[in-house]
Amino acid sequence: MSSKRPKSKEARKSKGKDKSNETNPTPDGGALESVTSPPTGHPDYIFPLVLTSATQELFGCRADEDVTGENPYKLLKKEDIIKDMKTRASVSDFSPVKQLVLDYPEDELLLVFDRDFTYGQSFYLVLTVEAKENILKPSVEGDEEQMKEEEVEEEEMIIPKTPVSHPWISLGSEQEIEEESVTESRPRLRYKISPLLRHCGAPVCFSDRSALDEKEGFVECPSYQDKSFSIREMEKHTAIQASCDTKHSSTQTLWKYPKNMWTQYEPREFSPEEKEHHLRSEHLKNFITSVLIRFEISLQQNYITDVFCDDWTVLCEDDGMLAGKTETQLKEYQTFMDLHFSKEKTISHVHWHPTISGVIAVAMTERLSLEERIDNSTKLLLNPSYILFWNFTDPINPQLQLECPDDVLCFQFCPSDPNIIAGGCMNGQVVLWDISAHVERLQDTRSSSKNISNKLDKNNVTPVVRYCAVSGIENGHKAPITDIQWLPETFELSKLGIPVENPSRISVQLVTCAPDCSVLFWDLRPPRVVSHSLTDVKQKSEEKPLENPHGVPNTFKHLNLTWKPFIRVSLPKIGSSGEYSPLKFSLRDNTVDSPTGDKPPQNTDREEGCGFAQLRVPSAKQQKPLENISTKLYVGTEEGELVYTDWKMEKDNDSGRLLSTKPIHRFPLHDTLVNTVSRSPFFKDIILTVGSSSFAIWKEGVTNGPILMSAFSKKMLTVGHWSLSRPAVFFIGKEDGSIEVWDLLQNTHKPSQSQNISSAGITCIRTSSISSKQHLLAVSDCLGTLHILQIPWTLRRSSNSEKQIVRKYLEKEEERLEYFEKRQIKHEKEKKEMEAEQQRKKTEPVLPLKQEEELEAEALKKYEQFLALEKDILKNMGLLNEMEDSSDIHLRASAADFTVYNDDISTITSMKSRPIKGHLFQAANQKALLDIKGLWDMTGPIARLSCSQMLTDALDVYHREQVSLRTHICAAREISTQNDIYPAEECRV
Amino acid sequence: MAEVEDTLKRIQGINGVIGTIVVNAEGIPIKTTLDNSTTVQYAGLLHQLTMKARSTVRDIDPQNDLTFLRIRSKKHEIMVSTDKEYLLIVIQNPAE
């Protein structure tokens, strides 16, 4: 029902409009246009109108009179409007709505006063019935409601009211919905679609197809650089690993194997022809002559002076010698004297201990004559004499006593073992001691004197060492042994006296001599047991337990009382029967190195006491004879002779016995016994012998006599000893207790100094060098006192060249000897000639006179020759012209013959010619060395040479001093006459 | 020839002279007063030394030349004189 209503309304409305339009087209035309022009903003059912006041009055609807704001509605009647429109036509205000009014179905139209101009005009006309009703009623209701609402609002403020549902009012929307909705007007069409049946399930066949064939077969998406990803690189991490490449390489070296090769070259030499050729060459001649002078000068320079001589050192040496002169005397250092043992006894021998310094051994003998000795023999036997050992640390007590069977005249330490001492007794026995048990005592005292002195105080007994062995009386010397010496350890002697090698390097042999005309050689080793019978051996073995009663070391047990010398050298006199009686001897120091060159084995571990017993005499065949050892010895005899002999034995051809050779030389020189035969420690062939009144120095090999022979001394000389440190110095001891020091470099005719040491005669002198600054001289005297003297600096220090100088001196002396000998021979010859001459003279006495004349004539001839030669020389030199020649001759006619000696040059220059003579004369006169002598012998080449050399100068002098020359010659004549040198007639002017 | 020998004898006669050797420029001895081995040794060695000395002198001053060389040893003095073709060597013991 509702949907019908709006439709009708609309239709009515359109009708109404159409009506008005159709009915009032003219009057309303203008109005309409005016009305329609502002159609904005008003719904379709309203039409705003402007009503003129006349219209308002006609219709009774004046503004604000009929219609007010509170009552705007006025219902107009359709007829009135149509009438008005017809009366007034186009002027009517309703003409625009004429149609609408005509279409309006009802009789009354509603006009609404629009006071507020809501729709633009002061009035609007509602064109529809529904809108008229709506406006009239709701507006009333609305107003009321509005009023009420205001009231309600005022009330709602207080009481909320729930909305009340209103019934739906259709306003045409349902039609629109109906138009929009789809409604099926017919049944739906139905279609069925399907594929062809034959295609269904049919096999599908695929095949390759080139994408390029068809246009859009593929889509290519090529890569491109996307700008959005191009980022700048700011930091970079990099790393590098270095590694060397492995390399393989190889090389090949040549193998040099050792090869034996040699090469020899020889110097190139010229053949004799070539040499000849060279020697003949002119060039060589020129060369040699050109360099000759240079060489001569240099050679002479060297000969005259030593340019490279160090003056400073030479000066030093001289200075030293001078400075040392302040202290030249021997100074007493120490004196040893034992009240008990050595008083009133003569010291026969003194020896320094060879290894321990400051220890000295002294041998004593009784001062008795032979008769006294015989008388007191028993007493002497009961009081054995001793060898005393002194030490510097203890001047009162001797350190050691060696008991002797008899007085000992000489003793010596064994060179290879200083603990073994061999001594020669007065009774002809050889004694041996072994002090090895007491060495410590000797050494100890040296180191710690205090302890020893204390010890001595305690026991106060000097140990007495008994001798180990004594030689057999019947086989030994028959006279006191005056000298004893060990053979050096380097060699030993065979039974024939031939020196052979000593394999053990221990001195086992010693030599003794006694005035019983023999020199004996002893061997320490036990003799070969061939001769020993069984009983002997047994006896020995039985003896053994009994031995050693006095604590004697049995070093030489095997020798005791049975010891025999193995060589006996007799000294048969030369030219006459009998034998020399030796007192002293001297062997040549044969310190020859062993041929093998081995060092001697040091047998320090020699067992106590049995070393020598174990040593055996080796068989002669095993030993090598040493050829370079001299077997000669000098022997000083009782008769004052020096005998030079050989100890080698010779086999006598007739008997086959061994005989000693005859002495080689014999020098009867000293008047009485020779007390010293001593070799110089520096020159092995120089020997000093001292007799009682003189001493002599000999040289081995010089057979003419002594090199030096001293003058006879007023006092007896008792001993001589070489200095160990200076080759030129030796000491001579005298009977009056003084010592002479001889220095060959200072004086040979008198001692360089003499000094009194003791009141009694000197018996023995021995030197020793304790240190380089202390050299000591041990001097013993007849009264049993041993003086130890200090050798002054000058006597101990030798200059570097001293040995050489001394040697030169000795050589010169030797030459002198030879010269004298030659001269002697010459003299003898001359003597013989003279005798022969005399004999002849006797037969022919006239001849010599003639000869004299002849000689004179000869000399004159020579003189003439010389003058001619001189003239020639002068002419050759161009120094003599005719003028001078004449004057020279003139002068020469009155010339005298002079000889001028010039001692400085030590040459005799003989001058004949005037000018030369004058010159030399003058020169010599100045030196006051003038001697004038008549001279005839002018033939000497030297004189001639010097003449020519000096001619130049002489002539100059001559010209200058022609006048003064005469006076000189006059003066010379005067001198000669005054001094009576030569008769005046020989100086003819 | 005689002159050369005379001169050499004269030198040899001077005091202290031990030996005299004449050597050619190559160091080969021509005349000597010493025994063969000594001569050869002296000649060879002194020739070398002299040549060295000469070259030294010449190197220092090319216009200069060595004329005389004296060697003083502990025991001897050796004098060498040179020229183009020959050397004369004299050995002397100055201490005599």
CB contact under 8 A, A269 and B95: no
**Higher local confidence (pLDDT), A564 or A827:** A827
Q: Give A898's contacts (C-beta < 8 A, 6+ positions apart).
A: A911, A917, A920, A921, A932, A933, A935, A972, A987
Distance between CA atoms of residues A856 and A851, nearest Å: 8
State the complex-level ipTM.
Answer: 0.90
pLDDT (mean) for A502-517: 79
Determine, for residues A288 and B77 on separate chains, whether the beta-carbon distance falls below 8 Å: no
Q: Which two tokens stand for residue A237?
A: 């991490």
Nearest to B4 among A268, A284, A303 (CB): A284
CA atoms within 13 A on the CB side of A972: 33
* Global confidence as pTM: 0.49
> Closest partner residue to B30 among A275, A294, A303, by Cβ?
A275
Angle at A279 between CA A276 and CA A282, to 5 degrees: 130
Sorted by sequence, the CB contacts under 8 Å of residue A421 that are 6+ apart come out as A361, A387, A402, A411, A412, A413, A414, A432, A433, A434, A435
Measured between beta carbons, which residues in chain A are less than 8 angstroms from residue B72?
308
Q: How many CB atoms lie within 10 A of CB A29?
A: 16
What is the largest distance, in Å, between two alpha-carbon atoms of chain A? 255
Contact B86 A283 (CB under 8 A): yes
Identify the pLDDT of residue A900.
41
Quick one: which H or E segment has residue A734?
strand A729-734
Closest CA to A783 of A330, A339, A332, A331: A339
Closest CA to A423 of A408, A438, A401: A408
A678: left (phi over 0), alpha (psi -120 to 50) or beta: beta
Region A22-44 average pLDDT: 47
pLDDT digits (tens, 9 = 90+) for A883-937: 444 444 444 433 334 444 433 333 344 444 444 444 444 444 443 333 333 333 3
Higher pLDDT, A625 or A809: A809
Q: Is the pLDDT reported for residue B18 higher than 70?
A: yes
Q: How far apart are CA A362 and CA A387, in angstroms?
A: 5
In this prediction, residue B38 carries a pLDDT of: 92
pLDDT tens digit sequence for A672-701: 778 888 888 888 888 888 887 888 888 887
Give the distance from residue A286's alpha carbon to the nearest chain B alpha carbon, in angstroms: 9
Q: What is the pLDDT of residue A460?
A: 54
pLDDT (tens digit per residue) in B51-62:
999 999 999 999
Reported confidence tier of residue A390, pLDDT bands at 50, 70, 90: confident
- Overall average pLDDT of the A147-165 stretch: 62
Q: What pairs with residue A732 in β-bridges?
A: A720, A740
CA separation for the pair A437, A425 (Å, rounded) = 23
A917 phi/psi in degrees, rounded to 5: -60, -45
Distance from C-alpha of A674 to C-alpha of A585, rounded to nearest angstrom: 10
- Match 């007023």 to its residue by tokens: A714
The rounded distance, in Å, linking the Cα atoms of A170 and A879 is: 198
B contacts of A302 (beta carbons < 8 Å) = 16, 77, 92, 94
Q: Rounded to an integer, what distance in angstroms lies between the CA atom of residue A728 and that of residue A749?
A: 14
Q: What share of chain A is helix, strand, coil (3-state, %, to 5)?
A: 35, 20, 45
In this prediction, residue A528 carries a pLDDT of 57
The residues, any chain, with a CB within 8 Å of residue A853's CB and separated by 6 or more, are none
Residue A205 has pLDDT above 50, yes or no: yes
- Are B1 and A275 an interchain contact pair (Cβ–Cβ within 8 Å)? no
Average pLDDT for A313-339: 67
- The residue of chain B with its CA nearest to that of A280 is B1
Nearest C-alpha neighbor of A420 from the set A465, A383, A460: A465
Q: Answer yes or no: is pLDDT of A974 > 80.
A: no
Greater pLDDT, A147 or A641: A641
Mean pLDDT of A793-812: 80
B→A contacts (Cβ < 8 Å), by residue, are 1, 3-5, 7-8, 10-11, 14-17, 22, 24, 26, 28-31, 40, 43-44, 67-68, 70, 72, 77, 79, 81, 83, 85-86, 88, 90, 92, 94-96
* Tokens at A813, concatenated: 């002396």
Is residue B20 exposed (0-12), middle (13-18) or buried (19+ Cβ within 10 Å)?
A: buried
Tokens of A479: 């006279």
Q: Is B94 within 8 Å of A306 when comparing Cβ atoms?
A: yes
> What is the SS3 assignment for A455?
helix
Across chain B, the runs of DSSP E, i.e. the strands, are: 17-24, 29-32, 68-72, 77-82, 86-92
- Predicted confidence (pLDDT) per residue in B54-90, tens digit: 999 999 999 999 999 999 988 899 999 998 889 999 9
For residue B65, the distance in angstroms to the closest alpha carbon of chain A comes to 15
Given this model, what pLDDT does residue A988 score? 41
Spatial separation of the C-alpha atoms in residues A16 and A82, rounded to whole Å = 13
Annotate A263-278 with b (16+ C-beta within 10 A) or e (fewer): eeeeeeebeeeebeeb
Determine the pLDDT at residue B65: 92
Of the candidates A128, A134, A127, A133, which has an alpha carbon nearest to the alpha carbon of residue A35?
A127
Residue A452 CB-half CA count within 13 A = 22
Q: How many CA atoms lie within 13 A of A960 on its CB side?
A: 10
Amino acid residing at A370: L
Among left, alpha and beta (phi > 0; psi -120 to 50; other), residue A843 is alpha
Band the pLDDT of A304: cuts 50, 70, 90: confident
pLDDT (0 to 100) of residue A925:
42
Average pLDDT, whole number, for chain A?
A: 71
- Chain A residue nearest residue B1, CA to CA: A280
Read off the pLDDT of each residue in A140-151 and give the average, rounded to a whole number.
Answer: 50
Average pLDDT for A269-282: 88
Q: For residue A850, what is the enclosing H or E element?
A: helix A847-877
B-chain CB neighbours of A275 within 8 Å are 30-31
Tokens 């239709």, residue located: A11
Instruction: Please choose, from the candidates A89, A126, A124, the residue with its C-alpha nearest in 3D space to the C-alpha of residue A105.
Output: A126
Q: What is the pLDDT of residues A428-480, one digit of tens each?
A: 888 888 887 777 777 765 444 444 444 444 445 677 777 777 887 777 788 88
Q: Summarize pLDDT for A946-959 with one digit per residue, the tens.
A: 444 454 555 555 55
Q: How many residues does chain B have?
A: 96
| Interface residue ranges in chain A relative to chain B, Cβ cutoff 8 Å | 267-270, 275-276, 278-280, 283-285, 287-292, 294-296, 298-300, 302-303, 306, 308
Closest chain B residue by Cα to residue A272: B30
CA–CA min distance A269, chain B (Å):
6
What confidence tier does A534 reach under pLDDT thresholds 50, 70, 90?
A: very low
Question: What is the SS3 string spanning A310-365?
Answer: CHHHHHHHHHHHHHHHHCCCCEEEEEECCCCCCCCEEEEEEEECCCCCCEEEEEEE
- Strand arrangement, sheet containing A386-391: A345-352, A359-366, A386-391, A400-403, A464-465
A800 CB-near residues (< 8 Å, 6+ apart): A317
Q: What's the whole-number mean pLDDT along residues A727-753?
A: 85
B33-53 burial, b for 16+ CB within 10 Å, e for fewer? Answer: bbeeeebbebbbebbeebeeb
pLDDT digits 0-9 by tens, B34-55: 999 999 999 999 999 999 999 9
